[in-house]
Amino acid sequence: MNFSTIGQNIVRLLIKYWDKFLITGLSYTLSLAAITVFFGTIFGALIALMRMSRIPPLRWVSSVYTEIIRGTPMLLQLYLFYFGLPQLLPFLNRQQYACVAIALVCNSAAYVSEIIRSGIQAVDIGQTEAARSLGFSQAQTMRYIVLPQAVKNILPALGNEFIMVTKDTSLASTFFIGDLMTQVLLIKGATYLPIEPLTIAAIIYFLLTFVLSKLVGLLERRLRRGDIR
Amino acid sequence: MATSGKLIEVRDLKKYYNGEAIKALDGVSVDVNRGDVMVVIGPSGSGKSTFLRSLNLLEQPTSGSIVFEGVDITKKTDAQGKRINIDLHRQKMGMVFQHFNLFPHKTILQNMTMAPIKLKGISPAEANEKAMALLERVGLADRAGAYPIQLSGGQKQRVAIVRALAMEPDVMLFDEPTSALDPEMVGEVLDVMKKLALEGMTMVVVTHEMGFAREVGNRVLFMADGKLLEEGTPDAIFNAPQNPRLQDFLSKVL
């Protein structure tokens, strides 16, 4: 085996299976990532609010949840949801895609909640005091003063989380969901070539996350411009 | 505004931390009259900032009462059983902080007009006009469109003062307003405060500026260990101090 044959094989595989990589695989990967990011952010924000709530049971539930999710391997969580959810909720029987998506959302929500919570708490307490002293309520202070400043702390970290999520969707291939990594496994099985499909997938993943990180950086700079120095 | 009478009545105010281990405030009683310029002095850790921050409940006192314009704001409900909304009372108590606490994501003008527009329902045009007039008074009208980060410390504190004034409060609380400033900027802030005092604004000022206390204050309070140890006119406090703690304190700072 040498590099020129690998190169030739990659070109051959791309010609023969381009639709498996770029249509089937990529669409599964992107849809899983989009679902995870979208619902992960919504649930993550809710968990963060619970975590900072004045009602103790809400705080306990949310902190136990984040600790458990962050303290167990993601692959284990995927297995647990994959086998456990259909038993708990019968309508999810044979709905592998849904089970994996739910597992990814639950995992991401825990991390996002920590990002949002720390971003909010990083805003100087003096900002809250100044707003409250002017007569703003707690909710108004959050909305007009704290959150606009917290967004600048949250966004870069959230962008990194999105990139992580995009890569984490590859774990879905454990259950042959159909994502990019699943296509790698299928093509490897059909052609007995392991390196070439892996290389192709690596390039696709890299391009995907590279574009994402550039977009996040752009957004970050746009936000910075808001408060000219 | 200069009608006389009690504006704030503080009775037996206590603030304890860790049970009773730390007594930041240990039974302070004092009346603030309309038109008073009350200066609170004392060594650090004496509880003077805690006292000031209790007046608008940024610190929740452990016990005691604070009657502001006839309402005991430390209670949940007033004499008629109506729920007390502390936010409404805070609108009438302007506060200026040691570290300015301007909103960095808003321009100077927005810093000043936000609360009047959102809380008092004043039209943006009217709020802008009033804010510009206030900025004019402190010589910062040309910086209306700037962001806080572009201002010097002294300018920031002047903006913080007029931001509080934009809500047209009945009393202004100053929490060591010059302590975080470079020495050459202290004067410009004290000048603004002095003008305000001469206009008849009721002020409670926690400060280490003894010159200001002597020259501008009409009453001086000396606090130590969470207690109000001596109260009097600036002349009495600075020229004929009675309490040995006050005598000791003055010998160190004057």
Most B CBs within 10 Å: which of A125, A132, A133, A227, as the mutation test of the B interface? A133
Q: What is the pLDDT of residue B2?
A: 43
Q: What is the pLDDT of residue B80?
A: 86
What secondary structure does DSSP assign to B166-204, as a single string?
Answer: TT--SEEEEESTTTTS-HHHHHHHHHHHHHHHHTT-EEE
Q: What is the pLDDT of residue B48?
A: 95
Choose the closest CB to A149 out of B97, B99, B104.
B104
Choose the closest CB to B119 out of A124, A135, A229.
A135
Phi, psi of A180 (to 5 degrees): -50, -45
The distance of A145 to chain B (nearest Cα, Å) reads 7
DSSP state of B150: G
Q: What is the pLDDT of residue A2?
A: 78
What are the Cα distances from residue B198, in Å, to B92, B192, B194? 19, 10, 6
pLDDT category of residue A227 using cuts at 50, 70 and 90: low
User: Any chain B CB within 8 A of the CB of A153?
Assistant: no
**Three-point CA angle A226, A131, B15, nearest 5°:** 145
Alpha-carbon distance of B42 to B249, in angstroms, equals: 7
Most A CBs within 10 Å: which of B52, B118, B150, B176, as the mutation test of the A interface? B118
Give this prediction's pTM.
0.84
The per-residue pLDDT for range A106-142, each reduced to its tens digit, is 999 999 999 999 999 999 999 999 999 999 999 999 9
Residue with tokens 């410390």: B153
Choose the closest CB to A135 out of B105, B115, B160.
B115
Q: Over its length of 254 residues, how does chain B's per-residue pLDDT go in tens digits?
A: 445 689 999 999 999 998 888 999 999 999 999 999 999 999 998 999 999 999 999 999 999 999 999 999 999 988 888 899 999 999 999 999 999 999 999 999 999 999 999 999 999 999 999 999 999 999 999 999 999 999 999 999 999 999 999 999 999 999 999 999 999 999 999 999 999 999 999 999 999 999 999 999 999 999 999 999 999 999 999 999 999 999 999 999 88
The distance of B43 to chain A (nearest Cα, Å) reads 23
Mean pLDDT, rounded, for A52-56: 91
A182 touches A25 (CB < 8 A): yes
- ipTM for the complex shown: 0.93
B89 touches B56 (CB < 8 A): yes
Q: What is the pLDDT of residue A226?
A: 54
A115 touches A161 (CB < 8 A): yes
User: Any chain B CB within 8 A of the CB of A68?
Assistant: no
Mean pLDDT of chain B: 94
Alpha-carbon distance of A34 to A44, in angstroms, equals: 15
Q: Which residues of A touch B105 (CB under 8 A)?
A: 148-149, 226-227
Choose the closest CB to A130 out of B91, B97, B105.
B97
What secondary structure does DSSP assign to A139-192, as a single string?
Answer: HHIIIIIIHHHHHHHHHHHHHHHHHHHHHHGGGGGGGT-SSHHHHHHHHHHHH-
Q: What is the pLDDT of residue B254?
A: 81
Q: What is the pLDDT of residue B246?
A: 96
End-to-end CA distance of chain B: 34
Chain A: residue whose CA lies nearest to B151: A229
The distance of A18 to chain B (nearest Cα, Å) reads 48
DSSP state of A2: -
Mean pLDDT, rounded, for A210-216: 90
Q: Contact B88/A135, CB-based, under 8 Å? A: yes
What are the Cα distances from residue B3, in Å, to B7, B10, B123, B219? 10, 20, 29, 17
Between A2 and A111, the more confident residue is A111
Which helix (DSSP H) or strand (DSSP E) does residue A129 occupy? Answer: helix A125-134
Chain B: residue whose CA lies nearest to A128: B101
Alpha-carbon distance of A160 to B32, in angstroms, equals: 54
Q: What is the pLDDT of residue A104?
A: 96
Would you call A224 helix, strand, or coil by DSSP? helix
User: Any chain B CB within 8 A of the CB of A224?
Assistant: no
Q: What is the pLDDT of residue B4?
A: 61
Q: Contact A144/B58, CB-based, under 8 Å? A: no
Choose the closest CB to A134 out of B115, B147, B149.
B115
Q: What is the pLDDT of residue A1?
A: 61
Alpha-carbon distance of A149 to A133, in angstroms, equals: 18
B192 touches B10 (CB < 8 A): no
B113 touches B127 (CB < 8 A): yes
Q: Which residues of A touch B90 (CB under 8 A)?
A: 132-135
Of B26, B106, B101, B103, residue with least CA distance to B58: B101
Q: Which residues of B touch A149 (CB under 8 A)?
A: 104-105
CB-based burial of residue B70 (10 Å sphere; 0-12 exposed, 13-18 middle, 19+ buried)?
exposed
Alpha-carbon distance of B234 to B230, in angstroms, equals: 11
Alpha-carbon distance of A150 to A215, in angstroms, equals: 19
CB-based burial of residue B251 (10 Å sphere; 0-12 exposed, 13-18 middle, 19+ buried)?
exposed
Which helix (DSSP H) or strand (DSSP E) does residue A31 occupy? Answer: helix A26-51
Q: Contact A133/B94, CB-based, under 8 Å? A: yes
CB atoms under 10 Å from CB of B109, counted, come to 19
Strands B6-17 and B63-68: antiparallel
In order of their start, the domains of chain A are: 3-228 (1.10.3720.10)
Question: Which residues are CB-neighbours of A76 under 8 A, at least 6 positions away?
Answer: none
**Three-point CA angle B21, B27, B33, nearest 5°:** 145
Q: Which residues of B touch A144 (CB under 8 A)?
A: 114, 118
Q: Contact A149/B101, CB-based, under 8 Å? A: no
Q: What is the pLDDT of residue A153?
A: 86
